[in-house]
Structure 1
Amino acid sequence: MIKNIVSKFIEKKQLIQPDDKVLVALSGGADSVALLHILISLNYKCEAAHCNFKLREKESDRDEEFVRQLCKSLNIPLHVIHFDTIEYAAEKKISIEMAARELRYEWFANVKQECGAAVIAIAHHQDDSVETILLNLIRGTGINGLLGIRPLNGDIVRPLLGISRNEIIQYLEEEKIDYITDSTNLSDAYTRNKIRLKIIPEMQKINPSVRYSILSTADHLQDTALIYNAWVTEAKKRVLTKDGIRIENLLKEASPKTLLFDILYPLGFNSTQLDDIFQSFAGQPGKQFISSTGHRVVKDRTILLIDNTSDANANTPPFELQMEKMPYSSSFVIPRDKDTACFDADKITQPLTTRKWKHGDSFVPFGMKSRKLLSNYMTDRKFSLIAKENQWVLCSGDDIVWLIGERTDNRFRVDDDTKEVLVIHILPI
């Protein structure tokens, strides 16, 4: 019975084609073991991938050994990797759960390419989708967060979303197939487990069919989401610039707060922050908001600037400079694009260095005779707050010769006495 449900679900959702090789994410738990057995029984060519996150000491090694023996008995190729998940989470300043998610999906993608698989099969089922909806609702979400887990997301497929956890266990017992239980699934230390072990049972006291009701609501929202997402896509084109959100255009939209949510929520801003950001439109420029993922929003004069705080703190420029010298003649034409600068090579002291500008810096803007503070120059040129933070300068000794990508220093210009020209191009990394 369960095989037919999965087969029809795969066919209906067009998850896997008959000749596709499938890479199965295999933890050793009931759901992933059932997925592997079902796909094999449906004649799909499978390989398995197992992550040892080193989070449960001997139990993690037990899981790995179980998976190795299972794949050996099924004659299935197995790929295994060990992760130092705790160290990765500390480096990235993210939760253990998020660290494990990032590590495994990046590795799955690499293994898929190496083994020539068409898709990566993940063993999420109906109950996982219900828990995801409730988790998103508790944390705060938009309409897309209420749709549950998608059966198809790029090359990620979830063939078991049409069946419940109980049906999976029943199938394994009927087929006398062994699996292992992750002890953390029985603990309410994790938010998702609290939902599974405490919240849903309480909801079932009110409505025994609450799982079905939640999934049914998610299905009804699918068409609504299609209309909503089409509007968001078009609205984003009207309000977004390369720097951020044009405030005036946003406020002209039918539902500006909703659109603001859809743009900023995926960047880690919570509902309270989004309310504060919206209120900041009426205030003075300069107010900043930092999200849980390190993204930053700065209220400027007419634009809500968006960047990543790591960009502002970067010590390495996001570009390379290509330099070449050439003889100067009257036929030489100085390029007018801001990604190229030309200097009298004899006026330059090597080596040239790059750095972020700092307060007190000054230069002689091209075409002028007197010095000007960089801070005043950028204010006059209406640089945004983020653009100021991310501005780099090119130095010859202690002198700034180029406000990179903006304007050169007049003292180093090419003139009638120039014999050799130094041409510098900005190359993006």
Structure 2
Amino acid sequence: MKLLTFKKGAYPPHGKHFTEDKKIEDLLPKGDLIFPMSQHIGAPCEPLVKKGDRVLVGQKIGAAKGFVSSPIYSSVSGTVKNVALMPHANGSKVMSVIIENDGLYEEIEGLVPREDYSKLSKDELLKIIAEAGIVGMGGACFPTHVKLAPPPDKKIDAIIVNGAECEPYLTCDHRLMLENTKEIVEGLKIVLKMFPGVKGYIGIENNKMNAVKVMKEAVKGVSNIEVVVLKTKYPQGAEKQLIYAVTGREVPSGKLPADAGCIVQNVGTIFEIYNAVVKGRPLMERIVTVTGEAVKEPKNLRVKFGTSFKELIEACGGFKEDPVKVISGGPLMGTTVQTLDLPVMKGTSGILALTKKQAVLPQESSCIRCGRCVEACPMNLIPSILDSLVKRREYDTFEKNNGMDCIECGCCTLVCPAKRHLTQSCREGKRTVLANRKKAN
């Protein structure tokens, strides 16, 4: 079997054994729910409710402001306790709606399946997807309707479904492919209906052969969908790397997948397109992998947005030892959090609790000029040079050396024998460049 892959990359320990065989369990929230009005790339939402209002399941509580934005819906019924600034997983405070859950889960009228969507136009489907609040469920959280509306001069000929899930420890996409196979295929058919004559690909790494098997069975006889097997390598699920692996095309520096004729969507996103179009339900919940050496009973949980991280940890039996670090997401692309009093949001793919053995970032030593970071970087950058430029605050030169192309995957830091914090430097450099651009405008 030919395994498709990209150039360079790294091979981190998987850590998936904790949950890859754990079926998805439903978790109903107990306490108050917090809905940040910023759960996506783009403009934050504007709250549509105020303190004292009663809300229902499926009621819009945050209105999208602008084309690159995405509405937010209540996942429970209850009473709005407050609309205020609350802690966010990114370390800031954002405007949020706090709802006291009444436990009744009364739904707003209209959340009913569509009898037939086959006659809907592309514009009608786009409107449904936009109104449902669907964003990239792999963690990037880019509004899906924007991706599905490329400029007219971009000729799309490939829709690629990302089932790689290359991030260590996370298994939410893997379980989704095993347990909701037909829905994912139907969701892809809906997207393909929007792009007549275009071929669909479902890319899955070869450490998930059971998912490959069920997906191939589900698309048997479907001429415009192909399941492709990817080599297990990190970051196989990054858009540009996935496009190269599946099509052999390179997305130019500073360009988007559409410039290579491709649209990439996570399997979770495709599943939510099915839910919105076929079931008539907006995005209100997601699967979260709760895992790590510090967790007593790691699980894959289907969780309503707004549910506290603390409740997810409790549903997994708590900690068997105090974690040194808790990460929202995976160990390489995730964000370290300082509290469990944070809500599950659209981009919360995992909660990872690590012990001292796994979590402590080693002390840096001097670069030994070995070039391993260059050999590993999937974006063909020179991380060691970018690191030194950031340390010297030479941000213009950082930008000229294509530092903004860094996808912050962590490959360079992973392979560096000197334990240089290369990814962290590149992240700091990118943020500074963007901040300087904003000041200049």
Query: Normalising by the residue count of structure 1, what TM-score does the alignment of the two structures yield?
Result: 0.29
Larger radius of gyration: 1
Q: Which has the higher helix share?
A: 1
Higher relative contact order (CA 8 A, sep 6+): 2
